[in-house]
Amino acid sequence: MGKKTLIFTLVFGSIMLVAILIVGINVYQTAMAQKESGHQSAIEVAKKKADLKQVDNVETFVGKEKQYIIEGENQKDEKIYVWVPADKKQKLMFKRAKDGITSKQAIKTVQDQGHLSELKGVHLAREGSTLLWEVTYLNQNDQYSLSYVDFTNGKIHKNMTP
C-alpha cells in the first residue's frame, strides 16, 4: 500500500468516525428530549388535579397508552402517585402510596412465582384504569421478562416473556 493510499484511508476513516459520533450524539439527545418533553406539563396538571405540592420523581411509561407517572407529596404531606395520561381525553388517576402495595411487595409477588432470577427494575405503570407495578427481570432461562402486579390488590395482572 502506498503512502498516499494510507493517508487517504486514515483521513477518510477519521472523517467517518467523527460523522458517526455526531449522528450518535444527535440521536441520543433527541431520544432523551422526547422522553422528558411532557414532564413539566404533567407536573402542572398533577399539581392542579391531585393536590400535589412536592414532586420527587417523574417517569414516562409507554404501554398501550403513554403515561407520565409522578411521585410526590400532597398538601397533607402524604406520599402520592399520579398517573397523568399523555392523551388529554384519558382520565388522570392518583392514589396515596399507602392505599396500594409497595415496590418491594410487588417484587416479592413475582419472586413467589419462582420465575425471577435477576431483578432489573420496578416502575409504576398503568393499563386502562388498572394501576400497576411493572417488574422487569431475567427469568430462570435468562430471558428478559415483565410482570405487571396490580397496585391495589397485589395480584399478578399479566406476565410477559418476549
> Same domain for 63 and 50?
yes
Are both 46 and 74 inside the same structural domain? yes
- 5 in a domain, yes or no? no
User: Largest alpha-carbon pair distance within the chain?
Assistant: 77
E runs forming strands in 14-143: 52-62, 66-74, 79-85, 93-96, 116-127, 130-139
Determine the 3-state secondary structure of 151 from DSSP: coil
141 and 88, same structural domain? no
CA angle at 33 for the pair 39 and 130, rounded to the nearest 5°:
40
pLDDT tens by residue, 103-137 = 999 999 999 998 889 999 999 999 999 999 999 99
107 and 95 both lie in a single domain: no
Residue 36 has pLDDT above 80, yes or no: no
Q: Are residues 87 and 123 in the same domain?
A: no
Task: Specify the pTM.
Answer: 0.76
Residue 34's pLDDT is 58
Domain with 71 in it = 38-99
> Nearest 10 degrees: CA dihedral of 122, 124, 65, 141?
20
